[in-house]
């Protein structure tokens, strides 16, 4: 099965995160004025890999790629939509969760990346509610088990049909010897605020909880008899619609397909390029600044649609990061470079700030926030090189602060007439793009020194050269031309020589200092434990629970507590 798992069912050699509603196999999206319905109707044969079937609305990564796309399209293409009804298209089952055969046969890397992407997708549902006023109501008919209930947990309001059989459950521990991998434990305690003892009962009960007890234990918001379900759903939709800040008559924009040219060792987009040096295990992402100034008005921004530079760049950066995550497992380091005019980058930041009350400007900023978080959560060493002619300013400077190391070139290079390396701060660097810990990247950098953060705030808009940036603590090292090549070469070779497992743990711990939030718990504490548990024989060994599920054989556990 492990070999079959690596064979994509669509015949391609890579997982592609780009799709659109005309290609959906698992979701039906319908928009009726201010209310959209997302119907989960999973095609059993529509698997991403060969070797399993998606029965009972169970899902794999392909199902979640469609869900993420649908949420993004509702945010950009249908700004008038204020409420999403999340429902099942199958009788007596809402969603059986992640497909067990898929998990049992998947490589460890695929399991971990699958859980990470599904977590990010559920966070995106919550972000749509918090930032955009796009609320989601989950209507559960039948069973919502494991990842199915975790999907419901990401919504604003959970309605459970009171028919004597519909139930919610997190049965991963008793059935599969793993944890709810999509934030289930954390959302039960931190979001739903279920009592610890009741949560313990719930998470060790295979059949789950139904009816009035599910409400009393805060696992759902209400139970509704089948005879009154549609009436109750319509009423809740009206209530949430009245609370939304989404525009009643906003003109949406089409998220047109990305243009990518792929060769053996590179991918070329319209605003960035990715180059792979596979022998040295590196991927270099070079972002290109805008070629023209921002439009004159918000209306012109809408007319530009998906070609508006900040939106085009963030969509392409998102695709590039996901492609490396899912398809380039041997890449040890991602190197960020940039080229362009920093003043033009700042002009777009200023334009978005001036129009921050416009729905599209708000959505673009929110998209950047989500993609920068995806960078934070990517298990590769992140390196920023601020060189001659770079444009790490404002929003793009966030990639420097997201990196594990950053190097900046002092002065000029012989024979190179590009502008000196510079770093430019803007207001957006001080709170517009919080990390999973709730802090800006600069605030996370200066946890022990509020004075340093205040000092960094003073030169907003100034072109900071290398030694000034180093003195302010904005880059790790400023190097002259003599040391540049050797210092960076030695660092990257050293990085590639370390244990990939140890580096993943090191970086994930060091990136999220400061306060703990529900989001940082999900990606740090919970994901770290799940990552470990997914490698234990009790779960994935030949006699483990994942391998023996459905065979009639009980798993054989190593009973020693570790």
- The set of residues, in sequence order, having a beta carbon less than 8 Å from that of 319 and lying 6+ positions away, is 17, 18, 258, 260, 269
**Contact between 250 and 361 (Cβ < 8 Å):** no
**Contact between 39 and 28 (Cβ < 8 Å):** yes
Q: Which residue has the tokens 């209400």?
A: 222
Give strand ranges (E) for 67-110: 83-88, 93-95, 97-98
- The set of residues, in sequence order, having a beta carbon less than 8 Å from that of 145 and lying 6+ positions away, is 95, 96, 97, 168, 169, 170, 171, 208
Catalytic residues: 150, 172
Instruction: Please choose, from the candidates 330, 326, 317, the residue with its C-alpha nearest in 3D space to the C-alpha of residue 274.
Output: 317
Instruction: Please choose, from the candidates 191, 254, 194, 256, the residue with its C-alpha nearest in 3D space to the C-alpha of residue 219.
Output: 194
**Contact between 88 and 95 (Cβ < 8 Å):** yes
* d(C-alpha 387, C-alpha 409), whole Å: 5
**Contact between 65 and 23 (Cβ < 8 Å):** no
* d(C-alpha 108, C-alpha 364), whole Å: 34
CA angle 124, 125, 127 (to 5 degrees): 60
In the numeric block, which tokens belong to residue 506?
């090191």
In the numeric block, which tokens belong to residue 303?
């007319």
Instruction: Please choose, from the candidates 312, 373, 310, 386, the residue with its C-alpha nearest in 3D space to the C-alpha of residue 345.
Output: 310
Q: What is the CA 279 to chain-centroid distance, rounded?
A: 29
């Amino acid at each position: 099965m492990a070999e079959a798992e690596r064979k994509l069912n669509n015949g391609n050699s890579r997982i592609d995160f780009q799709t659109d509603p005309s290609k959906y196999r698992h979701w039906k999206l319908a928009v009726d004025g201010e209310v959209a319905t997302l119907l989960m109707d999973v095609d059993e044969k529509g698997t991403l890999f060969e070797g399993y079937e998606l029965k009972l609305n169970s899902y794999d990564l392909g199902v979640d790629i469609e869900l993420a796309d649908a949420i993004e399209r509702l945010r950009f293409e249908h700004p008038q939509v204020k409420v999403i009804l999340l429902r099942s298209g199958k009788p007596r089952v809402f969603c059986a969760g992640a497909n067990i055969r898929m998990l049992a046969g998947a490589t460890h890397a695929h399991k971990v990346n699958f859980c990470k992407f599904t977590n990010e997708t559920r966070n995106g549902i919550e972000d749509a509610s918090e930032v955009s006023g796009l609320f989601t109501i989950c209507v559960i008919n039948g069973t919502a088990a494991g990842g199915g209930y975790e999907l419901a947990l990401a919504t604003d309001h959970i309605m459970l049909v009171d028919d004597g059989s519909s139930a919610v459950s997190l049965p991963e521990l008793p059935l599969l010897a793993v944890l709810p991998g999509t934030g289930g434990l954390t959302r039960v305690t931190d979001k739903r605020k279920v009592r610890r003892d009741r949560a313990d009962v719930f998470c060790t009960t295979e059949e789950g909880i139904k009816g009035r007890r599910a409400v009393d234990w805060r696992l759902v918001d209400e139970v509704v008899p089948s005879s009154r379900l549609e009436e109750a759903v319509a009423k809740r939709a009206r209530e949430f619609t009245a609370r939304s800040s989404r525009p009643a008559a906003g003109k949406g924009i089409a998220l047109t397909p990305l243009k990518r040219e792929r060769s053996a060792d590179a991918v070329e987009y319209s605003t960035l390029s990715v180059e792979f040096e596979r022998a040295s295990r590196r991927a270099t992402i070079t972002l290109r600044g805008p070629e023209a100034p921002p439009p004159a008005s918000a209306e012109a921004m809408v007319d530009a649609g998906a070609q508006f530079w900040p939106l085009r760049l963030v969509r392409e950066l998102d695709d590039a990061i996901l492609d490396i995550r899912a398809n380039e497992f041997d890449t040890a380091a991602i190197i960020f470079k940039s080229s362009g005019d920093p003043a033009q980058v700042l002009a777009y930041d200023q334009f978005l700030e001036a129009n921050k009350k416009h729905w599209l400007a708000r959505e673009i900023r929110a998209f950047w926030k989500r993609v920068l978080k995806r960078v934070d959560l990517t298990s590769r060493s992140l390196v920023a090189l601020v060189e001659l002619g770079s444009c790490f300013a404002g929003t793009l400077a966030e990639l420097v602060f997201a990196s594990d190391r950053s190097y900046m070139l002092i002065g000029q290079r012989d024979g190179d007439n590009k502008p000196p390396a510079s770093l430019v701060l803007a207001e957006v660097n001080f709170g517009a793009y919080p990390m999973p810990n709730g802090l800006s990247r600069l605030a996370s950098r200066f946890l022990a020194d509020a004075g340093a953060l205040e000092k960094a705030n003073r030169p907003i808009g100034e072109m900071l050269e290398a030694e000034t940036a180093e003195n302010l603590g904005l880059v790790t090292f400023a190097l002259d031309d003599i040391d540049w090549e050797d210092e960076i070469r030695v660092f990257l070779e050293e990085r590639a020589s370390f244990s990939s497992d140890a580096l993943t743990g090191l970086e994930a711990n060091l990136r999220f200092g400061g306060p703990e939030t529900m989001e940082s718990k999900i990606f740090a504490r919970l994901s770290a434990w799940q990552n470990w548990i997914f490698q234990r024989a009790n779960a994935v060994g030949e006699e483990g629970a994942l391998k023996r599920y459905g065979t009639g054989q009980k798993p054989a556990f190593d009973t020693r507590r570790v």
